[in-house]
């Protein structure tokens, strides 16, 4: 008997769609709906931003352009070695994102990432050992001091961040070089990129609150504000190049209702926390203003904004649900009316749905099929012989067509 191909759709992510012709054969095609294009844009924007900030840091050592390297006269400027490391890693991430490369070019990318990571590690080790292990003193001319802080020297905090960012970039290069999916490598790279991103946010917030970290500690070099911005971009680029790992990032970029709510309420919660902390820090600098009054005003403002956003998001979600239900009813009508046999199975080969034509072909009711495995419906022998291997291959992403 000749069988037309079936198309299986797995519930959840990744998604597969199931449709059928006249018989029992199963063939599946992958309709994985990732957010590859979005994360590609994030990676390109982040890498290009890090490079632009680094170029600004280098130009900041020219007369009349100091603001490009430090933003504020009282802040330490980005060190030249920091700018070069940003260009190395940002250029590598940009290259990995834009196109595929030969093994030789990937080896070069890996060497650049390893060089940045090694320089950062030596900078940290040199700080604690009291010696110039990175030979930065020999490579970069002395540019004076900001108080007791030497200018044009990479701080150990920046070195540590470059070590992590360099390792993450190197992992991504290795993943590209082996030409086979290694999800765990992308997860590791994404997590390391998240560490870099979180570190940059901490230093940026310290500057925002007016209490930058590591200033006033003698000759200890703090991380520059422009450097923190650069790591913000570099961390985002690393996460984008890893495909949206870690999982929280993928969830926030998704198209589900939970992703939509996360994109609204996570920034809202973060903004509320930052606003409250900023108000608490600044109230003492304003004479004649009660701290209780400021706290109350902040609470009212945050509650008002939260209420407005909650109402708006609730209406938006309700509208989206109504539209989805309307589309679902339409699809249900189409599926129930077609003479083709259609069914929906999950990754464990359990029937989640089947149309009337499918049920009629096997003389089953919905109760007899829905919730049952394909082995229970077709029999263990037929399932193991004709279905299992093909279904497992298709769920792995292979497109299969066959006839009995």
In-domain check, residue 199: yes
CA distances to 155, 192, 235, 277 from 227, in Å: 10, 18, 12, 23
Confidence band, pLDDT 50/70/90 cuts, at residue 76: confident
In-domain check, residue 313: no
User: Is the pLDDT confidence value at 67 over 60?
Assistant: yes
What are 186-243's pLDDT values in tens digits?
888 988 999 999 999 989 888 887 778 777 777 678 899 999 999 999 999 999 898 8
φ, ψ at 289 (rounded to 5°): -110, 130
* CB 242, CB 172: distance < 8 Å: yes
**Total-model pTM:** 0.63
In-domain check, residue 309: no
Please report, rounded to a whole number, the percentage of residues in the chain having pLDDT higher than 90.
Answer: 25
User: Is the pLDDT confidence value at 294 over 80?
Assistant: no
In-domain check, residue 317: no
Between CA 321 and CA 93 the distance in angstroms is 39
In-domain check, residue 152: yes
User: Is the pLDDT confidence value at 247 over 70?
Assistant: no
Count: domains in the chain: 1
CA distances to 4, 253, 318, 328, 353 from 321, in Å: 35, 19, 5, 10, 21
In-domain check, residue 362: no
Instruction: Give the relative orientation of helices 156-177 and 183-208 as an angle to the nearest 10 degrees.
Output: 160
Q: What is the pLDDT of residue 114?
A: 95
Which DSSP state fits 404?
Answer: -
Between CA 316 and CA 320 the distance in angstroms is 6
Q: What is the average pLDDT across 70-91?
A: 90
User: Is the pLDDT confidence value at 248 over 80?
Assistant: no
E-assigned strand segments in 33-144 = none
Q: What is the pLDDT of residue 366?
A: 84
Confidence band, pLDDT 50/70/90 cuts, at residue 168: very high
Q: What is the pLDDT of residue 185?
A: 85
Q: Which domain holds residue 84?
A: 36-254
Tokens linked to 85:
């490391």
Compute CA 315 distance to the chain's CA centroid, rounded to the nearest angstrom: 28
In-domain check, residue 213: yes
Q: What is the average pLDDT across 31-47?
A: 74
Q: What is the pLDDT of residue 138?
A: 82
Between CA 192 and CA 168 the distance in angstroms is 6
Confidence band, pLDDT 50/70/90 cuts, at residue 27: very low
Is 101 or 335 the better-scoring residue by pLDDT?
101
In-domain check, residue 79: yes
User: Is the pLDDT confidence value at 274 over 80?
Assistant: no
């Amino acid at each position: 008997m000749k069988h037309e191909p079936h198309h299986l759709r797995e519930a959840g992510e990744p998604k597969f769609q199931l449709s059928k012709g006249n018989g029992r054969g199963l063939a599946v095609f992958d309709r994985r709906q990732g957010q590859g294009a979005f994360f590609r844009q994030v990676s390109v924007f982040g890498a290009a931003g890090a490079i632009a900030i680094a170029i600004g840091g280098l130009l900041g050592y020219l007369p009349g352009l100091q603001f490009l390297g430090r933003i504020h006269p009282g802040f330490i400027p980005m060190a030249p070695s920091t700018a070069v490391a940003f260009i190395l890693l940002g250029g590598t991430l940009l290259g990995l994102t834009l196109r595929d490369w030969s093994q030789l070019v990937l080896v070069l990318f890996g060497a650049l990432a390893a060089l940045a990571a090694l320089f950062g590690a030596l900078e940290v080790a040199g700080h604690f050992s009291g010696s110039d292990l990175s030979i930065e003193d020999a490579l970069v001319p002395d540019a004076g001091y900001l108080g007791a802080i030497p200018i044009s020297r990479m701080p150990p905090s920046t070195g540590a961040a470059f070590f992590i960012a360099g390792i993450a970039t190197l992992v991504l290069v290795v993943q590209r070089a082996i030409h086979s999916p290694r999800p765990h490598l992308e997860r590791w790279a994404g997590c390391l990129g998240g560490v870099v991103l979180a570190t940059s946010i901490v230093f940026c917030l310290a500057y925002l609150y007016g209490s930058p970290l590591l200033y006033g500690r003698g000759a200890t070099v703090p991380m520059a504000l422009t450097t923190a911005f650069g790591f913000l971009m570099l961390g985002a680029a690393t996460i984008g190049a890893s495909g949206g790992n870690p999982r929280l990032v993928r969830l926030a970029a998704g198209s589900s209702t939970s992703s939509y709510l996360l994109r609204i309420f996570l920034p809202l919660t973060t903004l509320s926390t930052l606003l409250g902390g900023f108000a608490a820090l600044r109230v003492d600098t304003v004479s004649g203003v009660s701290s209780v009054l400021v706290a109350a005003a902040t609470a009212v403002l945050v509650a008002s904004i939260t209420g407005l956003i909650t109402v708006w998001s609730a209406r938006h979600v309700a509208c989206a649900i109504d539209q989805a239900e309307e589309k679902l009813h339409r699809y249900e009508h189409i599926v129930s009316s077609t003479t083709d046999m259609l069914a929906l199975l999950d990754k464990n080969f359990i029937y989640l749905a089947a149309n009337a034509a499918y049920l009629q072909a096997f003389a089953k009711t919905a109760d007899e099929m829905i919730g049952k495995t394909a082995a229970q419906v077709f029999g263990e022998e037929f399932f193991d012989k004709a279905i299992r291997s093909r279904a497992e291959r298709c769920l792995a992403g292979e497109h299969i067509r066959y006839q009995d």
